[in-house]
Structure 1
C-alpha cells in the first residue's frame, strides 16, 4: 500500500496544505517524506493523519474495491454504447468508494473524461482533466496510461493534432509496462491513426490503422473494422493512391451494409463523393453525396447533423462548379432550412457566401474580408482561411485593389507552406 500517495491525494482533494495536515502530529518536512514514499511511518502516525482527513484507516488501507465495474464502464464508453455507459456511471456513483478511495477515484475521473467526450461535453471534459492533473504525482503507471490517452483525445478535439499524437505516444510507452486488453490496444492504435492522419503524418497513420484493423478483424469486430477502412480510404486519398482509397471505401461500405450501420454508410458515401470531386467527376460526386444523405436520416439514432450540413455544403459546391445555378440555389435553400433545426455559424457563412456569389452581391468582398475570413482566423480553421482568401484575391484584383489583394495572397501562401496538406480550391 502506497500510503504517501493516498495521503497526498486526499490532502490536495480537501484543499489542505502540508502544514495544516501535519500540525500537532508530525513536522511538515516529515509529512513531505511520507507523501513522497521516502519513509514508512508508524501506524499510530498514519491513523492520526487519516483521522484528520476524515478517513477510516482500516478501510482506506485494506479495502480495495474491484476495478471490474470501472473497466466495464470504460469498455461501454470506448464502444459507444451510450445507454450502458450512462447506466454504469450511475451505479458507480452510488458506491462510496468511487469518490473516497484514491485508486478508484482517479480511474473514475479519467474514464469520466472520455465519457464526457462521448456525450460531446468537451468543456466539461477539460474541467475534469484540469482537476485530475493536480493528482498526477500520485499516479501509478496504469493511471499514467489513461491520463495520457485522455490528454491525447482532448488535444485532438481542440485541433492540436501533433500534440495529440505526442500524448498518445506517451500512452503507448506506458502500455508496454502494464496489462491492457486487446480491445484497448486496438483503440490506442486507432486513436494514433486518427491523430497522425490529421497531423498529415499519413504513412504513420496507415501503419497504426493497419495494426488496429488487424486486431479488430481477429476479434470479428466489424464496426471498428469499417471505421479503420474509412480512415485508410482517407489516408490513401491524401497519398493520391486513389485505387487503394476506393478499395478501402468499398470494403467499409460492404461491412456497413452487412451490419446496417447507417452512420458508417453515410460517411463512406461522403468520402467517395469527396474523392470523385478531387478527380473532377462532378456528377459522380453529386450522386454519392446524395446517397450519403439517404443514410443520414434525422429519425435514426446515429444521425449526425454536422455530416448532414457538410454534405449539403459539398452539394452546393459541386453544383456551383457545374454552373448549375438552380441546383445550387435549391441546396442553399435546403441548407438554410436545416440551419433552423441545427444552428451552425460555420455553415451559415458557407451557405451565405454561395448565395452572394450567385446573386453577384456588390458587398461580397467586404463580406469575405470583414466577416468570413476573421471568423475562420479566430477558429484557426486554416483550410477555410486559405480558400476564402484565394477567392477574395480574385475579387480584389477585379477591383484593381492590387496591394490588398497581394496581402491576402501572402496569407494563403504562408498557410499553405505551413499546412501543405490543406491545398485545394473552393470554387
Structure 2
C-alpha cells in the first residue's frame, strides 16, 4: 500500500475525521488528495500527520515483511481448516498486535482482512467486524483478486449469519466470477464451497448445494479433516432430505454418526440425531422420528441448539394431532426462547407464535400470521412465507372465509415463485 492509503486506513481505524487530522497541517482537500494517491506529501507534512496519529516516525521505514505475512497466512489456513476457535482467537490477537506495532506495514490491508475473517469465528465481535468492514469497503477499488476474495467471503458470511441468504449467495457467486482467471489455493476453494453450500441450502437451491458440499467434502477427506467431513455430510444429508431422497439422507447421517463414533467425538451427535428424526418424520415413521428427536434434545446443551429440536417435536406432535403433547412442547419452546437473543429469538418466536395461534385457536390468527410473514419476508426466507400462507389459507377456507383464503393462496403462490427464483409465469413451463 502507498503512504496515502496507509494514512487513510490508520485514520479510519482511529475513527478520526479528515478535518481533525488536517487541522493546522493542511487543508482537508489536500489530505484527501494524499489519501487517494493523487499527491505525495512532503516530509514535513508526513511528520505532522504521523504525530497526530500518534505513530512513531520510523514506521515509514517499514519494509514488506513477507516472512511475517506468510507465517500469518499459514496459521490462518490451519485455523480455517480446523475451525478451532481458541486458535482463531490467539491468531486474531497476534495479527491485531502486529498491526498496532506496525501501522504502516505494506501488507496491512491483507492482514486486516484476515483478522476480520477470524473475528467471524469468535463471539462478541460484531461491532469490531462492522467497524473493520466499513474501513475495508473504502479500499475495495484498490484490492487485488485475493483481497477481494477475502472481502466478499467476509461479507457473504455476515449476510448468512444475519439470515440474508439471497444476499449471501449473490456475494459467493461474485467470488466464483472473480476467480475465473485467478487461482486460489485448494483450502480456500474448499471453504468457499462449504460456506456457499450453506447459503444455497438456506435458499432451497438444493442441487447446487449438493454439488458444492461434495467438492468441499472431497478436499476435507483428502486432507483427513474428519470433523469438517462430518459437517459436510450433515449438509449433504439435509439437502438430500429436501430433494426427497430420504433413504440416501438416512445413510448419509448414519455414516456421519459412524465417523463420530470412530473418532470418539460427540460434537455433532445432536445435529445428526435431529436430522435422522427429520428424515423419519417425512417417511411417516413417527416413532423413529420422535426417538431421534428426543435423543438429539438429550445431547444438546445450548438453548440455541435445543430450540431447533423442540420446534421439531412440536411439529411432529401437531402433525399427528396429539394436541396435548404439542402444547407441552409449545410451552417448552417459549421457555427456551427467553434465553435466546437477536435474530435467533425473532426467528423462533415467529414460528412458535404461529403454532400457539393454531393450537389455542386464537381469534387474532390473521394478524399473528401477518406479523410472522412480514418477518420471514424481511429476512428473505420465502420457504416459510410459502408454507405459512398455505396453512393460513386452508384454515380460513375451513372456516368458510373464502375471500381471505384466496388472498393467502395467491400470496403463497407468489412466494413460491420467489423461492424458485422465477420472475415470469412462462418460466414455469
Q: TM-score range by the shorter chain?
A: 0.7 to 0.9
Q: Who is 1:199 aligned against?
A: 203
The aligned residue for residue 152 of structure 2 is: 148
- For residue 53 of structure 1, the aligned residue among 28, 49, 53 is 49
CA drift of 1:214 comes to 1.5
CA distance in 2, matches of 1:33, 1:346: 43
1:67 alignment counterpart: 69
**Per chain length, whose mean CA-contact separation is higher, i.e. which structure has more relative contact order (CA < 8 Å, sep 6+)?**
2
Contact map agreement 1:270 1:311 (CA 8 A) in 2: yes
| 1:210–1:372 distance in 2 versus 1, CA, 3 Å | closer
CA contact 1:152–1:168 (8 Å) conserved in 2:
yes
Pick aligned residue for 2:109 from 87, 91, 106 = 106
Q: 1:228: which partner in 2?
A: 232
Aligned counterpart, 1:254: 258
Tell me the residue number matched to 1:312: 310
Q: CA RMSD in A?
A: 3.6
Runs of 4+ in structure 1 deviating by more than 6 angstroms, as ranges, are 21-25, 176-179
Q: Which residue of 2 aligns with 1:347?
A: 348
In structure 2, do the counterparts of structure 1 residues 61 and 206 end up closer, same or farther at CA, with 3 Å as the change threshold?
A: farther
Unaligned runs of 5+ in 1: 422-427
> Structure 1 pair 60/355, CA: closer, same or farther in 2 (3 Å)?
same
1:153-232 pair list within 5 angstroms: 153-172=157-176, 181-232=185-236
**TM-score, with normalisation over the residues of structure 2?**
0.80
Change (3 A) 1:176 1:351: closer
Q: Can you give the 5+ residue segments of structure 2 that lack an aligned partner in the other structure?
A: 422-429
Aligned residues: 406
CA contact (8 A) 1:141 1:177 kept: no
Q: Which of 91, 95, 99 is equivalent to 2:98?
A: 95
Corresponding residue number in structure 2 for 1:82: 85
SS of the residue 2:284 aligns to: coil
Report the Cα distance in structure 2 between the residues aligned to 1:145 and 1:168, rounded to whole angstroms.
9
Note the C-alpha offset of 1:320. Answer: 1.7
Distance 1:341 1:170, change over 3 A: closer
Q: Does 1:324 align with 2:322?
A: yes
Contact conserved, 2:201 with 2:209, CA < 8 A, in 1? yes
What is the alpha-carbon distance in structure 2 between the residues aligned to residue 31 and residue 369 of structure 1?
54
Is the 2:246–2:283 contact (alpha carbons within 8 Å) kept by the matching residues of 1? no
The residue number in structure 2 matching 1:382 is 382
- Contact 1:257 1:265 survives alignment (8 Å): no
- Distance change (3 Å), C-alpha of 1:24 and 1:265: closer
Matched-pair contact (CA < 8 Å) for 1:92–1:98:
no
CA distance in 2, matches of 1:11, 1:21: 13
